[in-house]
Amino acid sequence: MKHADLFRREFGDQLTPEAVDRLVRHAELLERWNRVVRLVGEQEPEDWILRHYAESVAARRFWRSSRSAGNGKPALLDIGSGAGFPGLVLAALHPQRSVTLVEARERKAAFLAEAARELDLPLLRVVRDRFDPKLAAALAGAVEFATIRGLRLPEATTARLIRALPGGGRLIVWVGRQLGPGLADFCAVEEEMSLPNSRHRRILSLRPLRRG
């Protein structure tokens, strides 16, 4: 089955034809790269769509305007982007919004940069660096929302990230049954949803706790 048919079968009319086209181009590029550089563990596009694309698309309900987003187009920071899940997928759904992908591994960052060109996403930038407190401080004020999927940050880095978000900003995370102790110390769960195709995994929208 062709990529476009797989996406239409999974998402139906949830996505615009333009968004489906961008996701198809991403999947085709991912399939070519994955033969040489292991970007995702699953081998079949059907598995990617059920696991990675569906989980990324589901998060768009949490990425909405915050009070401090003056132009109504809140910027997104995706930490540990890997093959582009969820940050690049969300950028493909909302190409008019600014997205920053942070990826420390050189080959994965190279893939993300090529994907941004292939999908014609001029407001997407790729930062090849390890996300640490220094980088979190440098990005303060530049993003409204941050996403973390499949990555656990050190507690000090998590704390600095939370402080970097504006008052209306939110941290969106993919978790299992429980929220990690580091996040629980700095955030409160504002919204949550069960993930498609999973019995236990959830997406949480976290509100930073301001202390002192």
Position 186 scores a pLDDT of: 85
Q: Which residue has the higher pLDDT, 46 or 124?
A: 124
Position 109 scores a pLDDT of: 97
Proportion of the chain above pLDDT 70, given as a percent: 94
Least-confidence region, from 25-39, 81-95, 172-186, 187-201: 172-186
Position 25 scores a pLDDT of: 96
Strand order across the beta sheet in which 99-102 lies: 124-127, 99-102, 76-79, 145-148, 170-175, 202-208, 187-194
Position 204 scores a pLDDT of: 94
Position 140 scores a pLDDT of: 72
**What Å distances lie between residue 47 and 51, 52, 172, CA to CA?**
6, 8, 23
pLDDT exceeds cutoff 90 at 117? yes
Query: HSE of 134 in the Cβ direction (CA atoms, 13 Å)?
Result: 2
Condensed to tens digits (0 to 9), the pLDDT of residues 9-35 reads 999 899 999 999 999 999 999 999 998
* Residues contacting residue 165 through CB under 8 Å, at least 6 positions apart: 143, 144, 145, 146, 171, 208
Provide the angle, in degrees to the nearest 10, between the axes of the packed helices 106-118 and 17-34.
Answer: 140
Proportion of the chain above pLDDT 90, given as a percent: 56
Backbone phi and psi for residue 62, each to the nearest 5 degrees, phi listed first: -90, -15
Position 28 scores a pLDDT of: 95
Instruction: Find tokens 């656990």 and name the residue.
Output: 152
Position 68 scores a pLDDT of: 53
**What mean pLDDT value characterizes the chain?**
88
Condensed to tens digits (0 to 9), the pLDDT of residues 45-97 reads 888 998 899 999 999 999 986 655 455 568 999 999 999 999 999 999 999 99
Which residues pair with residue 102 across a beta bridge? 79, 127
Q: Report domain extents, the chain.
A: 3-208
* CA dist., res. 205 & res. 63, Å (int): 9
Torsion of Cα atoms, 118 then 124 then 130 then 136, to 10°: -170
Answer yes or no: CATH 3.40.50.880 is held by domain 3-208: no
pLDDT exceeds cutoff 60 at 3? yes
- For the entire predicted model, the pTM comes to 0.91
- The helix/strand/coil state of 65 is coil
Condensed to tens digits (0 to 9), the pLDDT of residues 133-157 reads 888 878 777 788 999 998 888 888 8
What is the per-residue DSSP string for 94-121? Answer: -TTS-EEEE--SHHHHHHHHHHHHHTT-
